[in-house]
């Protein structure tokens, strides 16, 4: 009985977390659209680069939502969040190496 209560509390927290991440993703997508529109109209490469930064953030949020979904599934992997964090770290490292390579 106590184990069931712990599982339901954990699922409730995951649902709240998923709802918050979905809201943040929607706000990020709105910011991306706004930055791209402003960047194109003002011919500002800096504003377009900021939009690209928000794209990378949105990618990380989508990965987080995916990890929550996988970990909630009855057959899901309990360490899905750790695996997704590793994937996100590799993605950020690849972006960093690309920027360093282009700067040289």
pLDDT in tens, 18-48: 888 899 999 999 999 999 999 999 988 888 8
In angstroms, the CA 33 to CA 55 distance is 10
Instruction: For residue 77, give the DSSP letter.
Output: -
Confidence of residue 9 (pLDDT cuts 50, 70, 90): low
Stated pTM of the model = 0.74
Task: Give the domain range for residue 8.
Answer: 2-103
**How high is the pLDDT of residue 37?**
94
Counting the structural domains of the chain, the total is 1
Mean pLDDT of 52-68: 90
Token pair belonging to 92: 């950020």
CA angle, 83 as apex, 96 and 33 as ends, to 5°?
55
* pLDDT above 70 as % of the chain: 86
């Amino acid at each position: 009985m106590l184990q069931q209560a712990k599982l339901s509390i954990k699922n409730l927290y995951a649902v709240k977390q998923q709802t918050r991440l979905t809201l943040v993703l929607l706000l990020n997508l709105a910011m991306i659209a706004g930055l791209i529109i402003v960047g194109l109209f003002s011919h500002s490469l800096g504003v377009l680069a900021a939009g690209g930064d928000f794209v990378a953030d949105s990618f990380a949020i989508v990965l987080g939502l995916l990890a929550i979904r996988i970990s909630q599934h009855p057959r899901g992997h309990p360490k899905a969040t750790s695996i997704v964090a590793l994937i996100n770290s590799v993605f950020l490292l690849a972006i960093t190496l690309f920027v360093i390579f282009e700067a040289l």
